[in-house]
Amino acid sequence: MGVIRQALDKILAGHEPYPAVVVDATWNLVAANAAAAMFMEGVPEELLREPVNVMRLSLHPQAMGGRLLNLAEVRAHLLHQLRRQAEMSGNGQLAELHDELASYTYPGVDLNVAHVPGPADILVPLRIAAGDRVLSMFTTIATFGTPVDVTVSELAIETFWPSDEETAAAFRKNA
């Protein structure tokens, strides 16, 4: 795992000043770069106890779910993705996580959106309130192409990219 850890560290550091995380098969945080700390700002301590679950952080009302300006769209996409993963893998932990996230309520937020992202959509933007700014991003997920170890095959690297120059400048300023 030493070689893999070095590769992951290189990928995470190379993606700075933009956020990047490494997750396992159940979306638990394995590693993150410094820029990813912005996702954990103001998050209650109980959500940051190991294992930190990235899906939970993304949708919990007291975490990013409370800061997403396009919550309904992102929530619909993530729940669909998680349900599909749970069904394809037969992983009960993913099914339980899906049910937990689907039960979250957000007072004053209409979760019935006119457009639920589908296969024809290239990406689902993330619009996050960050102080007096709106950060707009999209993500990509990468896996190791020829893993020899089952542990490595279960890792995914999610990188966050700015959707506009304003967001890119905000990240560069905070680096």
pLDDT in tens, 5-55: 899 999 999 999 999 999 999 999 999 999 999 999 999 999 999 999 999
pLDDT, the chain, mean: 91
Q: Which residues contact 118 (CB under 8 A, 6 or more apart)?
A: none
Q: Specify if 153 maps to a domain.
A: yes
Query: What is the percentage of the chain residues whose pLDDT exceeds 70?
Result: 92
pLDDT for 86-140, tens place per residue? Answer: 999 999 999 999 999 999 999 988 888 656 666 667 788 899 999 889 999 999 9
Q: Specify if 14 maps to a domain.
A: yes
Q: Specify if 93 maps to a domain.
A: no
Q: Specify if 80 maps to a domain.
A: no
| Residue 130 amino acid letter | A
Q: Where are the beta strands (DSSP E) in the chain?
A: 20-23, 29-32, 126-130, 133-142, 156-162
> CA-based angle 160:163:164, to the nearest 5?
130
Question: Rounded distance, CA 57 to CA 78, Å?
Answer: 12
Q: How many domains does the chain have?
A: 1
Q: Which domain holds residue 138?
A: 2-70+119-174
Q: Which residue has the tokens 């190791």?
A: 144
Count CB-CB contacts under 10 A for residue 148: 8
Q: Specify if 86 maps to a domain.
A: no
Q: Which two tokens stand for residue 78?
A: 């993530």
Q: Is 18 left (phi over 0), alpha (psi -120 to 50) or beta?
A: beta
Q: Provide, for the chain, the percentages of residues in helix, strand and coil under a 3-state DSSP scheme, each rounded to the nearest 5.
A: 45, 20, 35
Cis peptide before 17 (omega within 30 of 0): yes
In this predicted structure, what is the pLDDT of residue 122?
Answer: 76
56 and 101 in contact (C-beta within 8 Å)? yes
User: What CATH code is carried by the domain that includes residue 10?
Assistant: 3.30.450.180
Q: Specify if 95 maps to a domain.
A: no
Q: Which residue has the tokens 């030493």?
A: 2
Q: Specify if 140 maps to a domain.
A: yes
Q: Specify if 142 maps to a domain.
A: yes
